[in-house]
Amino acid sequence: MPQEVRGVVAMTKGAPVTLETVVVPDPGAGEALVAIQACGVCHTDLHYREGGINDDFPFLLGHEAAGVVEAIGAGVTGLEPGDYVILNWRAVCGGCRACRRGQPWYCFATRNAQQRMTLADGVALSPALGIGAFVAKTLVAAGQCTKVDPRVPPEVAGLLGCGVMAGLGAALNTGSVSRGDSVAVFGCGGVGDAAIAGARLAGATTIIGVDVDERKLGWAREFGATETINSRERDPVEAIRAFTGGHGADVVIDAVGRPETYLQAFYARDLAGTVVLVGVPTPDMQLTLPLLDVFGRGGALKSSWYGDCLPSRDFPLLVELYLQGRLPLDRFVSEQIGLGDVEAAFDKMHRGEVLRSVVVM
């Protein structure tokens, strides 16, 4: 029997989100029904609401979630009702050309539920990142569920499902930060601070946080930034060079995703260094760079989809580091809110008052 629950929906471009009745089908073949316990508010949810991702309104928002499997469909193995899981938005297929050549974190055919959740009038919802978790129950592909140690509280665990994983992975996986590296991170929100925490975990010795907001820079220091730069007050490229012996950083991570921050990241990098773009641009944005500088500065310009993570490998590992007290994931949780408070959480995100507001069911 399909179930009716309340969920946070973006009905039209730019309009405030509303609480709507969501009809959730029973899980079909390869699907799982998950009772959501907590879901973080990510900047990507706001991008969806503003039409910055695509125009497939209405969107069921929310995608940084943890919960308990309630039911599984036919053919699902390795997952049972009662399992405590973090949801991921890149369930690898195992058969595409990326998976076949042993790079499943690039999977080009990631899986989502086949059936659609709908509004009460039958209109199909587009779940954010194929999840849609600002809702009591959601329907996903079974591969989107990664079992983790139930000792990690859901409001913390859920964050690994998107922004925190993206930031940690931008440093650890995409940027391959290693001992003694210098790292600069543009944008010290949830994603950028996770990149800073990842750089510290990897043994970087100089970690520079850049933001336009002093409060964010204070938090960046708590996550491990050894230097901070307010780019409203100082040219960040010059300041990063000054902190790195005049050279620039080995790895520069753009966790904002705007042409101006990308250009700054590009020139704040040492010769043969790496730029990692983890912030998500909008379709209107363009970048112009002297091609000779792209060649002459060498190194690597990389994008980080979901921190190049492999949920089955990375989620349990990061949970373990958290439980050992080596990864301060709870510091990302600025406040716990209810389902009706998501629009207010967007405002707080806009004003820079929070790292993560987390909806707790």
List residues binding ligand NAD (CB under 6 A).
42-44, 47, 162-163, 166, 186-192, 210-213, 216, 231, 255-258, 260-261, 278-280, 304-306, 349, 352
Which region among 88-96, 244-252, 254-262, 324-332 touches Zn ion (by CB under 5 A)? 88-96
Residue 143 contacts which entry, ligand NAD, Zn ion, none (Cβ below 5-8 A, type-dependent) = none
- What H or E segment, with its residue span, contains residue 275? strand 269-277
Cβ 9 to ligand NAD shortest distance, Å: 19
Q: Give residue 75's region: left, alpha or beta (phi > 0; psi -120 to 50).
A: left
In the complex with Zn ion, the residue whose CB is nearer, 42 or 141, is 42
Helix residue ranges, H only, 15-90: 43-49
CA distance readout (Å), 173 to 82, 165, 198, 209, 350: 31, 10, 9, 19, 29
- For helices 259-267 and 236-243, angle between their N-to-C axes, nearest 10 degrees: 30
Is the CB of residue 265 less than 8 Å from the CB of residue 257?
no
Instruction: Give Cβ neighbours of residue 206 (< 8 Å, ≥ 6 apart).
Output: 181, 182, 183, 226, 227, 243, 244, 249
49 vs 216, beta carbon nearer ligand NAD = 216
Cβ-based burial of 87 (10 A; exposed 0-12, middle 13-18, buried ≥19): buried
93 binds, among Zn ion, ligand NAD, none (CB under 5 to 8 A by kind): Zn ion
Interacting partner of 187 out of Zn ion, ligand NAD, none (Cβ under 5 to 8 A depending on kind): ligand NAD
Q: Which is nearer to ligand NAD, 79 or 317 (CB)?
A: 317
Considering the complex, state which of residue 113 and residue 255 has its C-beta at the smaller distance from ligand NAD: 255
Nearer to ligand NAD, 136 or 165 (CB): 165
CB atoms within 10 A of CB 81: 12
**Residue 195 lies near Zn ion (rule: CB under 5 A):** no
Residue 14's Cβ-side half-sphere holds a number of Cα atoms within 13 Å equal to: 0
> By Cβ distance, which residue is nearest to ligand NAD?
189
* The entry of ligand NAD, Zn ion, none that residue 249 binds, CB within 5 to 8 Å by partner kind: none
- 103 three-class SS: coil
- Closest to Zn ion by CB, 250 vs 314, is 314
The C-alpha atoms of residue 184 and residue 243 are separated, in whole angstroms, by: 10
Of residues 127 through 166, those in contact with Zn ion by CB under 5 A are 162-163
By CB under 5 A, the residues from 92 to 111 that bind Zn ion are: 93, 96, 99, 107, 109
* Interaction of residue 44 with Zn ion, rule CB under 5 A: yes
The pair of three-digit structure tokens given for residue 64, joined into one six-digit string? 């940084």
- Minimum CB distance to Zn ion smaller for 162 or for 354: 162
What does the binding site for Zn ion look like in residue numbers (CB under 5 A)?
42, 44, 93, 96, 99, 107, 109, 162-163
